[in-house]
Amino acid sequence: MAPIFRLESVTRHYGERLALEIPELVIEEGGIRSLSGPNGSGKSTLLGILAFLSPPTSGVLYYDGKRVEWKERSLVALRREVTLLHQSPYLFEGSVHANIAFGLGIRGMRGEEKHGRIEESLETVGLGGFGHRRARALSGGETQRVALARALALAPRVLLLDEPLANVDRDSAVVIRAVIAGLPARGTTVIMTTHDPDVPGCSNGEVIRLEEGRLSRSRDEVATGRT
């Protein structure tokens, strides 16, 4: 099976500043991969490239065995397979339901199927019945869970999560961890940045570690030994 992502000689500059420099990185499909490293080490930059949101300055990204052409037309299709959950997700003014419905509508989903998908995803994150709530009036933890529900509703092949456990209350963190743990069984590959030692899968999963934009990968960097 082809790896889901392969990076070759990828760099990303912001102006003069080199934020990422990865000679080679292969990420297999399936499971939960954690992406660690200090602040400013390039984690979010890497996720932005993997989400097809911002191109590398140089180098090549392969997705599912195919070279990514950074042209809007092909990116639209790719972005339907890979979803990024931002560290501070944006919910627009309106109901929780409308926020989740938006992306589904773009994908042509309508009526009962759409409503079912929305309710199911809210229940998955423990917010069944929250559809009518005003999205901008939710707590931080609820916002993060709605954003996760919105991502899940899209049933992505790959879900990228940027610090999904930062800025959430303890109860929300418990729910979010459990949902993430269940994703590989649903066929979703997970890549997440986190400082949380209790992330399921990370104790025996592979850690991709960045330092100053460079890979310092270690397979034996076991989070805590807990499962």
Q: Which residue lies nearer to ligand ADP by CB, 42 or 89?
A: 42
| Residues contributing to the site for ligand ADP (CB under 6 A) | 14, 17, 19, 37, 39-45
- Which range touches Mg ion (CB under 5 A), out of 44-52, 74-82, 105-113, 180-188? 44-52
List 209's β-bridge partners, or say none.
36
Site string for Mg ion, 10-29 (x = CB under 5 A): --------------------
Token pair, residue 74, equals 């092909």
**CB under 5 to 8 A by kind: which of Mg ion, ligand ADP, none does 188 bind?**
none
Q: Is 76 helix (H, G, I), strand (E, B) or coil?
A: helix
User: Collapsing DSSP states into helix, strand and coil, what is residue 202?
Assistant: coil
55 neighbors 70 (Cβ within 8 angstroms): yes
Taking the complex as a whole, how short is the minimal distance between the CB of residue 209 and ligand ADP, in angstroms?
A: 11
Does 45 engage in binding with Mg ion (CB under 5 A)? no
Helical ranges in the chain per DSSP H? 43-50, 72-79, 96-106, 111-124, 140-153, 170-182
Residue 45 binding: pick among Mg ion, ligand ADP, none (C-beta 5-8 Å cut-off by kind): ligand ADP
Q: Confirm if 151 and 99 have CB atoms less than 8 A apart.
A: no
Range list of H helices, 87-153: 96-106, 111-124, 140-153
List residues bridging with 25 in a β-sheet. 7
Nearer to ligand ADP, 89 or 131 (CB): 89
Between 87 and 95, name the residue whose CB sits nearer to ligand ADP.
87
172 binds, among ligand ADP, Mg ion, none (CB under 5 to 8 A by kind): none
Applying CB under 5 A, which of residues 34, 44, 121, 144 lies at the interface with Mg ion? 44
Indicate the helix (H) or strand (E) that contains 158: strand 158-162
Interface residues with Mg ion (CB under 5 A) are 43-44
